[in-house]
């Protein structure tokens, strides 16, 4: 992935005049990180997860360049699995969820590109040994010779979506969780989001997916399709523990107004059937997808709902080719396709 020329010095900067584009904006490429923590997956599932990561990388590379961050010890393995079309970048990493550990790229509309580096504490302290991932965002920006703004927030890239026109959606369960930023109020967190991502309006949903170990990341339940349009997961089963959660989130979206004063159009997509691993529900969600240049890479779960989800996504993105990838082997580790990818926008 080439580095665009940024009309500013590298190092720390204030973020003034920058904003994060919507994920449908043109990309210079996609970032991923190669699995390096076998204990993240159930016993015997790690090799299949690596194969699934490689398949996602190859699918995205049809639409835009992909750079795979890789622990130096795994370069040969990752190179062989991914093939010659994927660039491998050796960097020290603790895990492989680059959406949450990598930088959030922002632009200034004048040819400038930079990155926000969030504080990271392994999803509220769920895992030990995340010290390398606390620095990977900064290392990527150093590699690209791009300015970095270190945000005084502990949060992850999967916890928010933006529309590129001033609106951000997130969940109270995650960003207001005392295991992230216990000393900050809702208003202070909102102001930090506005300062670092260039947004004006924050729309708060309530809770996320049942048993989501990330404490309710937004990318498991909703995403912006384009400005003014949100896709949200739902279920018609009132006996499902997610039913009331999803209904509350739909109600909030329908009552919300974005930064332009618009009511939101809400497209619903059904969740697949429940699957458990070791007594814990998997977060199977069709909203956990990647928007590429001219394409969509979305999950399939060996579920009857896969076909209808494909149709819903294809209708929502009529100008993009939709590619469906078997994603169960990724989700068994705790995340999805959106979680393992991070777009780098064109400046």
Residues 6+ apart with CB under 8 A from 175: 155, 159, 160, 181, 189
User: Which fold is adopted by the domain 11-345?
Assistant: 3.75.10
d(CA 69, CA 46): 18
**pLDDT band of 30, cuts 50, 70, 90:** very high
Eight-class DSSP state of 4: P
Helix, strand, coil % over all residues of the chain, rounded to 5: 30, 25, 45
Residue 149: helix, strand or coil by DSSP? strand
Output the pTM of the full model: 0.96
Average pLDDT over residues 199-226: 98
- How much is the pLDDT for 5? 41
**Mean pLDDT across the chain:** 96
Domain regions of the chain by residue span: 11-345
d(CA 217, CA 207): 9
d(CA 56, CA 78): 13
Exactly one of 70, 82, 174, 339 is catalytic; name it. 339
On the question of pLDDT at 126 being above 80, the answer is yes
- Percent of the chain topping pLDDT 70: 96
- How much is the pLDDT for 12? 61
Average pLDDT over residues 30-58: 98
> What are 179-202's pLDDT values in tens digits?
999 999 999 999 999 999 999 999
On the question of pLDDT at 6 being above 80, the answer is no
Decide if 339 is catalytic: yes
- How much is the pLDDT for 13? 60
**pLDDT band of 16, cuts 50, 70, 90:** confident
């Amino acid at each position: 992935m080439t580095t665009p020329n940024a009309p500013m010095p590298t190092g720390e900067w204030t973020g003034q005049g920058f904003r994060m584009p919507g994920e449908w904006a043109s990309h210079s490429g996609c970032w991923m990180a190669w699995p390096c923590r076998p204990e993240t997956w159930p016993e015997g599932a790690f090799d299949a997860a690596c194969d699934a990561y490689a398949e996602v990388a190859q699918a995205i590379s049809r639409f835009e360049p992909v750079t795979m961050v890789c622990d130096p010890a795994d370069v040969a393995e990752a190179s062989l699995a991914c093939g010659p079309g994927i660039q491998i970048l050796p960097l020290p990493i603790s895990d492989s969820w680059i959406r949450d550990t990598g930088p959030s790229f922002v632009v200034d509309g004048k040819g400038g590109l930079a990155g926000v580096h969030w504080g990271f504490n392994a999803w509220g302290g769920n895992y030990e040994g995340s010290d390398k991932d606390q620095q990977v965002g900064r290392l990527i920006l150093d590699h690209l010779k791009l300015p970095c703004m270190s945000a005084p927030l502990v949060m992850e890239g999967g916890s928010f979506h933006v529309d590129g026109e001033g609106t951000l959606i997130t969940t109270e369960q995650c960003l207001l969780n005392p295991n992230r930023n216990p000393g900050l109020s809702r208003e202070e967190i909102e102001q930090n989001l506005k300062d670092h991502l260039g947004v004006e309006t924050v729309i708060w949903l309530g809770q996320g997916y049942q048993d989501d170990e990330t404490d309710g990341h937004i990318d498991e339940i909703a995403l912006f399709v384009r400005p003014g349009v949100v896709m949200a997961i739902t279920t018609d089963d009132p006996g499902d523990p997610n039913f009331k959660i999803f209904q509350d989130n739909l109600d909030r979206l329908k009552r919300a107004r974005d930064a332009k004063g618009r009511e939101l159009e809400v497209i619903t997509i059904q969740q697949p059937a429940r699957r458990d691993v070791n007594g814990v529900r998997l977060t199977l969600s069709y909203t956990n997808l990647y928007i590429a240049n001219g394409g969509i890479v979305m999950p399939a779960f060996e579920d009857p709902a896969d076909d209808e989800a494909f149709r819903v996504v294809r209708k929502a993105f009529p100008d993009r080719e939709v590619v469906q990838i078997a994603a169960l082997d990724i989700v068994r580790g705790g995340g999805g396709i959106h979680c393992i990818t991070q777009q780098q926008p064109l400046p």
